[in-house]
Amino acid sequence: MRATLISLIAAFALVGACEMPPSSDPPRAVPAAMSDAGGRMMVRTEIFFSLSKPDGSGVDELDWDKFVDDSIAVWFPSGFTVEDAKARWRGVDGKAVSERSKIVIIYHDGSDQTLKKIDELRRLFMQRFGNKSVIRASGEVWVTL
């Protein structure tokens, strides 16, 4: 199981290392369904934190809450969402693997400064709990308040 987890982490690390070239496409027109005056384009980032440590133990709720209070809440005082999740995948041995995890969702401006904060959160979590990777998924969304 440990070898499977390491393989999965390595695969996600490779995906995270890929860079997309800057787009030369012209800016997209906003569809009529997204053109209400109260909305705007933002970036939605989901950060996937595994609560399984490499030694087989887990990150408990007190340690998670301390990480949220000391790091996420400090850098994103305007707000974020934390969801409990259960990650599942099939290991190289064909067996199903599952683990507890947390997904943090942040809506933001997509600036370099904000993305650096998100990457620093990922680094801090890996350093504090010994994880080899923390997945980040980001994309543009239309947000209406």
- Are 141 and 42 contacting, i.e. CB atoms less than 8 angstroms apart? yes
pLDDT band of 132, cuts 50, 70, 90? confident
The whole-model pTM stands at 0.74
Strand partners, 137: 46
The answer as to whether 66 is a domain residue is yes
Q: What is the CA radius of gyration of the chain?
A: 17
State pLDDT tens for residues 78-107: 999 999 999 997 878 999 989 999 999 999
Q: What CATH number has the domain bearing residue 96?
A: 3.30.70.120
Instruction: Give residue 29's pLDDT.
Output: 59
H-run or E-run covering 75? helix 73-75
The answer as to whether 21 is a domain residue is no
The answer as to whether 134 is a domain residue is yes
The residue type at 111: S
**What is the span of the domain harbouring residue 48?**
2-16+38-144
Other Cβ atoms less than 10 A from the Cβ of 32: the count is: 7
State pLDDT tens for residues 4-42: 444 444 443 333 443 444 445 555 555 655 666 778 899
